[in-house]
Amino acid sequence: MAFFWYLTFTMLLMIIGAPIAWIIGRRNGQYSGYFSLLIMLACVVTFGLAWWEVITVGYYVEGFFWGPFAFGWLLDGLSVTVAGIVLILTTAATSYSIAYMKKEHGKSRYFALLLLYNAGILGVVMATNLFQFYILWELMLIPSYFLIAEWGTKPQSTSIALKYFIFTHIGAVLIIVGIAGMWSLSNLGGNPTLNMSSLLGSTIDLSWIWPLANSAQLLAFEITKVIVILLTIGFAVKMAIFPLHTWLPDAHAEAPTPISVILSGVMIETAAYAMVRVLMTFMLPAYGAFTLILMIFGLITMLYGGIMALAQKDTKRLFAYSSVSQMGYIFFGLGTAVLLGVIGATFHIFTHALGKGLLFMVAGVLILQIGHTRGRDANAMGGLAKKMPWTATIALIAGLSIAGTPPLAGFASEWIIFAGGALGYTVLLVMFAVASTAITAAYILWFFKRVFFGTTPTELENTTDSPWTMRIPMIILAALIIVLGIWPAIVLNPLFTALPPLLPMVPP
Amino acid sequence: MLPYAAWLCWLFPLIGALLTPIFAKFHPKLRDYGAILFGFLGMVMAFSMIPDILSGAAWINAPPMLWYEEAIPWISIPGFTTLEWGVLVDPLSVFMACVATGVSFLILVYSLGYMHGDPSLTRYWFFMQLFVGGMVLLVMANNLLQTFIGWEIVGLCSYALIGFWYNRPNMVYDDQLGEVTEGKLNSHSGMKAFVVTRVGDVGLLISIIFIFFFTVSVGNPTFNYQVLLSDFAWLGNMALFLNGVLMFVVLLLFFLGPIGKSAQFPLQFWLPEAMAGPTTVSALIHAAAMVKAGVYLIARMAPILVEGFYQVAVPIAQLVLVNFFLIIAVIGTFTAFMAATMALVSRELKKVLAFSTISQLGYMFMAIGIFAFTAEGALGYTAGVFHLAAHAVFKALLFLSAGAVLHAVHSKYMDDMGGIRKAMPITFVVMVIGALALSGFPPFSGFWSKEAIFASAWFLGFNLGSLWGWIFLFFGALTGILTFFYSLRMIGMTFLGEPSKNVKDLTAEGKPVHEAPAVMWVPLAILAAATVVIGFLEPFLKQFFFAFWQNTYPSIPHAPHLSDLLTMYIHYFQEVFASPTFLITLGVLFVGGFLGYMFYIRRSWSPDFVGRGFLGRIHTFLYNRWYWNAAMYKIFVSGGLAFTRGMFSNIEAKGIDKFNYVLADGAMGLSRRWRRIQTGVHSWNMILLLIGAVMFLVLILLFQFLGGVLLIPLPFFP
């Protein structure tokens, strides 16, 4: 085991780095940008050391006691995958912010909040205690509220940030009620705790959930059903599942683009992660009662989001609806309650983060190089493939990955989700789910055609490609998409080893 | 076989693709010749597998070496299965790999001259090699999933290459004749190709996943072809679901993939627009790579399914399979006829070839569809597969010579050509050879394969007394007549007759029509020679496939193989020249040839008699491609976009999102009203306090009566 608190150090770096970044940037905001990037790179290093422990040992955990309250950080095959992509994408977005936010006001505050936001997302994924999980869940929400409100598109950004806050907060309230319910259940089992590993022990050792034996246990089972409903709705708000999705297109489209990258790329996926980590791990029997409903809502979301994306001409709004659609895939995969489907959904967290993060970065490049109104209107652009070849190539790679084209990463995760759906004996749903990939291809290619092909408007003759601080993170992410598409086992193998013990009752 | 040839034959083009941008940094010449080199290496690897397949000279007496595969683990799912990344070496895959790499190598060489001086050559070479690599990967793959990956790489490259000149307009010739449904730009055509084939791919992916699901249901999860073949429990299990309906749906969805990729009805309408790209790309798509993938996949799966037909003793499964193959044959026949009628009236040289490709692919599907029905119908399978190879060669030849013509006259319309035979003698000769092969003129390759296709239809109709056989034969023959007619029309309008205004203008401008450079005509000559030679390989191939089948697909009935080469050939020629279908083929050639000769070679009759009446209306109908393209656009593009916009404004904006704001406004209103109780009047406050106290008391009393059932003693956190 480690003698150095890698993960605590990682989290502290970001949390303590935030006020320092603010102080450093008082005179010149650009410094706080470079400082934040340094912090994030340091975090990548310390996290990488912890990752190495996971590779060699299989898991990595740090625990603390605060009175009777045990909390800490856990990396296993599941959380290391999600935390890895969180860190990759937030670092890329931080680097990207430096150029993107160059001409904005209040950069020192921006980067301080950004660091806190990154810390919140990373912490949610690694939390070992449900109460800690909830606190970090809110830490994720609050900085992003300010980031959207202050640096989003004026003048509607404040009201949109409020909408985002209220929606997500209602979800969070449902989650805390659900967590409280779980605590009382564990109390019923004789071992009151919110520590996830103890909870896991109590659910497996005390077989009071299944099979049912007496009326108290029946009551407990009914309570777990209520908890499942609460938590599912709470997480579904974050994942923007139809019909709770309307906050997402607004927030993701009007946020400053690096924040959109993080919002769409990793933040909404933390809810998908939490569904595996909290919901499926602890309450599978009750969860199993709802799987068909979850799949149907996932299916509606993926089709609805795709159809909505086809109707958009604002690039960022198009990508936002595409995120809604992709969350539908993940929800569908989780709803299958089959190992293959869940693993596919978890892997899709990774691949969607890469693809959608990149697409938002492309949208940001267009905004930066063309201007805020014109650079977002897909119909007003055209013929940019010649002007910005790097951006066009990267957009094509990312878009086709989202559309599930082999040999890119998106295909690897999508077919596993679909196969999981088939193994869950949902014939008709799988057919519609696969059909929605054609809609995805249509809106991605149509976007591509409108922006990058055709005749260049005369005003855009002098457009140039992105600056290097933006381009380098994009190239790295695009390369990851290709590598993972050809050899998905890099990410899949940890998942395949980690998930079966975590979900012992899930059929393969 | 050279070491690792089965891997390297697709890895070389892929590596070449990856190296292209690096080579381009050094020198453009290195990049160009590097691409040729990697294409050549891939071809060498593919051809080096032939001796293995023949496995010495013993195959005629003893059955040949069966097949073998090499695989490495790709994704391992503990306790479930390990998905492999592997290659399957068997006659079909090697045959296809040789056709694909060989023809595409010649196309790459030809590109050296044809694409010379294009500013985006790095992109061109990258995607061309990726295209070839994807195709050979598809062919050599030992499992369905890997085939699908190659399949999509091919689709992606077609998108990139059809739209290669992405900012170049792609206008239709005559907008008086109907709606302009074609895109304004080449990139639109590429997008159309990708999205339309993607619709087919969706069906294919669903079907692959269901096949996987049924292999899981019998406890043997796999995508592997040979494992699917080794135990047909999955097929039987599938037939039991929903009384065979599910099996029928799954098979039809499987066929949807090839329908899209190989441009069959009802998804045939992307292919004519795919002519927007460079001619070399068209040649690659039509001859070596893309559209052949669909035929290959059906040729790969058909024997497995037919073997399943005999091994699975479930009547409903057999019924479903028979109907499935019937649908393949019907769609193939209909598409063959439909596309041939479109080719009759096309004005663009490359579009005539595009329609003829659709038509010839229809023949292949017809033959493979017939294969399932008769013992002799096994002939249909070899005929279909052989027609694939023959078509690959002569269609590459036709496209590349058309490219030479286009290069010289700077126009894609046949009205702008004419009378250039003297100026381009080599191109003329090779193109005539290609056109004759296309029409099935003996002794060129098309004759042997087309005669065999007719023969299989004849067997179905005559020997089995099936009405379908006569229908296939009738439409096959009719299509044959049309084929020879439009081939002669193409040759006549392009090379013969009076020079057109465009040709005269070019001469006047000092840019007279000239012969193509050697780097372009040498590949043409090689292909022309292959067109003559390859026809005589058919009996060999047929016998070889039958011998192979005896081991691999023991239940499929087929003609016994013969003892030695000479007997085989004698028997074959006797069979061909004594059969009624030989006479049918000759009759077809005579009728089509006579009409074509009179109209377009000798020009005794004028095609102007069509006029404006009923025939004119038919002409318009055909010229607009049976209005299928326009209908598809109306329904799925304009209609679809209108639908999504309507959904957005009516459901999303006015419905769901509106509801949120109604909720918010309601809450605001409530709070505004609620605020009114905060009057600041002391007596009011006291009254409310009293009400609160009473309610609290009531609550306590309630809990007293309930007896603390709901109150669980709560110990301390954690």
Q: How far apart are CA A257 and CA A253, in angstroms?
A: 8
Amino acid at site B485: F
C-alpha distances (whole Å) from B431 to each of A252, B365, B399, B434, B488 are: 58, 26, 9, 5, 11
Q: How far apart are CA A14 and CA A43, in angstroms?
A: 8
The pLDDT assigned to A2 comes to 47
Q: Grade residue B547 by pLDDT with cuts at 50, 70 and 90.
A: confident
Q: What is the mean pLDDT of residues A492-507?
A: 81
- Do strands B81-89 and B68-77 pair parallel, antiparallel, or not at all (unpaired)? antiparallel
Q: Grade residue B558 by pLDDT with cuts at 50, 70 and 90.
A: low
Say if residues B420 and B494 touch (Cβ distance below 8 Å).
yes
Is residue B120 pLDDT above 90, yes or no? Answer: no
Decide if B252 touches A, using CB distance below 8 A.
no
Say if residues B82 and B71 touch (Cβ distance below 8 Å).
no
Number of other CB atoms surrounding residue B117 within 10 Å: 5
CB atoms A406 and B149 under 8 Å: yes
The pLDDT assigned to A214 comes to 58
Instruction: Supply the DSSP symbol for B516.
Output: P
Is residue A75 pLDDT above 80, yes or no? Answer: yes
The pLDDT assigned to A208 comes to 44
Percent above pLDDT 90 for chain B: 22
The pLDDT assigned to B562 comes to 60
Beta-bridged to residue B302, according to DSSP, are none
Is residue B43 pLDDT above 90, yes or no? Answer: yes
What does pTM read for this prediction?
0.89
CB atoms A418 and B205 under 8 Å: yes
Domain count, chain A: 1
In this predicted model, what pLDDT tens digit does every residue of B609-618 receive, in sequence order? 777 778 888 8
Half-sphere exposure of A488 (CA within 13 A, CB side): 28
Closest to B167 (Cβ–Cβ): which among A195, A453, A500? A453
Q: How far apart are CA B236 and CA B258, in angstroms?
A: 24
Question: A66, A246, A436: which to substitute to probe chain B, counting the most B Cβ within 10 Å?
Answer: A246
Q: How far apart are CA B594 and CA B606, in angstroms?
A: 14
| Phi and psi torsions of B366, nearest 5° | -60, -45
Q: How far apart are CA A259 and CA A118, in angstroms?
A: 10
CB atoms A434 and B209 under 8 Å: yes
The pLDDT assigned to B269 comes to 86
Q: How far apart are CA B129 and CA B22, in angstroms?
A: 14
Amino acid at site B317: A
Q: What b/e sequence results for B15-50 when a residue is b if at least 16 CB atoms lie within 10 Å of its CB, and e otherwise?
A: bbbebbeebbeeeeebbbebbbebbbbbbbbbbbbe
Decide if B671 touches A, using CB distance below 8 A.
no
Beta-bridged to residue A62, according to DSSP, are A73
The pLDDT assigned to B177 comes to 41
Residue B370's closest CA among B481, B493, B261, B472? B472
Phi-psi region of B84 (alpha: psi -120 to 50; beta: other; left: phi over 0): beta
Predicted ipTM?
Answer: 0.87
The pLDDT assigned to B176 comes to 44
Percent above pLDDT 70 for chain A: 95
| Phi and psi torsions of B88, nearest 5° | -120, 120
In this predicted model, what pLDDT tens digit does every residue of B705-714 receive, in sequence order? 554 444 444 4
391-420 of A, contacting B, C-beta below 8 A: 400, 405-407, 411, 415, 418-419
Decide if A98 touches B, using CB distance below 8 A.
no
Decide if B641 touches A, using CB distance below 8 A.
yes
Residue A186 in any domain: the answer is no
Question: B137, B149, B212: which to substitute to probe chain A, counting the most A Cβ within 10 Å?
Answer: B149
Q: Grade residue A507 by pLDDT with cuts at 50, 70 and 90.
A: confident
Say if residues B373 and B332 touch (Cβ distance below 8 Å).
no
Say if residues B67 and B226 touch (Cβ distance below 8 Å).
yes
Say if residues B31 and B126 touch (Cβ distance below 8 Å).
no
Tell me which chain B residues have a C-beta less than 8 angstroms from the C-beta of A169.
Answer: none
In this predicted model, what pLDDT tens digit does every residue of B435-457 receive, in sequence order? 999 988 888 888 888 888 888 88
Q: Grade residue B692 by pLDDT with cuts at 50, 70 and 90.
A: very high
Closest to B148 (Cβ–Cβ): which among A187, A195, A406? A406
User: C-alpha dihedral over A255, A260, A262, A266, to 10 degrees?
Assistant: 120
Say if residues A508 and B79 touch (Cβ distance below 8 Å).
yes
Number of other CB atoms surrounding residue A214 within 10 Å: 9
Is residue B181 pLDDT above 90, yes or no? Answer: no
Say if residues B164 and B123 touch (Cβ distance below 8 Å).
yes
Q: What is the mean pLDDT of residues B11-32?
A: 90
The pLDDT assigned to B640 comes to 84
Q: How far apart are CA A118 and CA A97, in angstroms?
A: 13
Q: Grade residue B173 by pLDDT with cuts at 50, 70 and 90.
A: very low
CB contacts < 8 A (A, B):
143
The pLDDT assigned to A402 comes to 92
**Nearest Cα residue in chain A from B137:** A407
| CA A282 from centre of chain | 21
CB atoms A311 and B648 under 8 Å: yes
Among the residue ranges B255-269, B599-613, B616-630, B682-696, the one predicted with the least confidence is: B599-613
Tell me which chain B residues have a C-beta less than 8 angstroms from the C-beta of A418.
Answer: 205-206, 209
Is residue B289 pLDDT above 90, yes or no? Answer: no
Q: Grade residue B595 by pLDDT with cuts at 50, 70 and 90.
A: confident
CB atoms B191 and A446 under 8 Å: yes
Is residue A351 pLDDT above 90, yes or no? Answer: yes
CB atoms A449 and B167 under 8 Å: no
Q: What is the mean pLDDT of residues B71-96?
A: 85
CA distance B322 to chain A (A): 24
Among the residue ranges A235-239, B398-402, B494-498, B572-576, the one predicted with the least confidence is: B572-576
The pLDDT assigned to A327 comes to 93
The pLDDT assigned to B222 comes to 87
Q: How far apart are CA A487 and CA A470, in angstroms?
A: 26
Q: How far apart are CA A430 and CA A418, in angstroms?
A: 6
| Phi and psi torsions of B474, nearest 5° | -60, -50
Residue B198's closest CA among A187, A411, A82? A411
Decide if B210 touches A, using CB distance below 8 A.
yes
Tell me which chain B residues have a C-beta less than 8 angstroms from the C-beta of A195.
Answer: 718
In this predicted model, what pLDDT tens digit does every residue of A370-407 receive, in sequence order? 888 888 888 888 888 888 888 999 999 999 999 988 88
Decide if B39 touches A, using CB distance below 8 A.
no
User: Per 3-state DSSP, what percentage of chain A is helix, strand, and coil (rounded to 5)?
Assistant: 80, 5, 20
Closest to B167 (Cβ–Cβ): which among A307, A423, A455? A455
C-alpha distances (whole Å) from A246 to each of A234, B283, B651, B690 are: 15, 48, 12, 43
Q: What is the mean pLDDT of residues A118-138?
A: 91
| Phi and psi torsions of B55, nearest 5° | 45, 65
The pLDDT assigned to B413 comes to 82
The pLDDT assigned to A384 comes to 85
Tell me which chain B residues have a C-beta less than 8 angstroms from the C-beta of A188.
Answer: 712
CB atoms A434 and B77 under 8 Å: no
Is residue B646 pLDDT above 70, yes or no? Answer: yes
The pLDDT assigned to B376 comes to 59
DSSP string, A100-121: HTTT-S-HHHHHHHHHHHHHHH
Q: What is the mean pLDDT of residues A270-274?
A: 93
Question: B198, B220, B237, B658: which to substitute to probe chain A, counting the most A Cβ within 10 Å?
Answer: B198
Say if residues B139 and B93 touch (Cβ distance below 8 Å).
yes
Question: In whole numbers, what is the pLDDT of chain A averaged over residues?
Answer: 86
Is residue A215 pLDDT above 90, yes or no? Answer: no
Residue A172 in any domain: the answer is no
In this predicted model, what pLDDT tens digit does every residue of B136-161 receive, in sequence order? 999 999 999 999 999 999 988 988 88
Residue A150 in any domain: the answer is no
Token code pair at residue B496: 């013969």
Q: Grade residue B700 by pLDDT with cuts at 50, 70 and 90.
A: confident
The pLDDT assigned to A122 comes to 93
CB atoms B647 and A307 under 8 Å: yes
The pLDDT assigned to A38 comes to 93
Closest to A193 (Cβ–Cβ): which among B78, B167, B718? B718
* B19 against A188, higher pLDDT: B19
The pLDDT assigned to B708 comes to 47
Token code pair at residue B55: 């496995």
Q: Grade residue B563 by pLDDT with cuts at 50, 70 and 90.
A: low
Beta-bridged to residue B224, according to DSSP, are B143
Structural domain of A492? 283-508
Is residue B33 pLDDT above 50, yes or no? Answer: yes
Decide if B637 touches A, using CB distance below 8 A.
no
Q: What is the mean pLDDT of residues A53-74?
A: 82
* B37 against A465, higher pLDDT: B37
Question: In whole numbers, what is the pLDDT of chain B averaged over residues?
Answer: 83
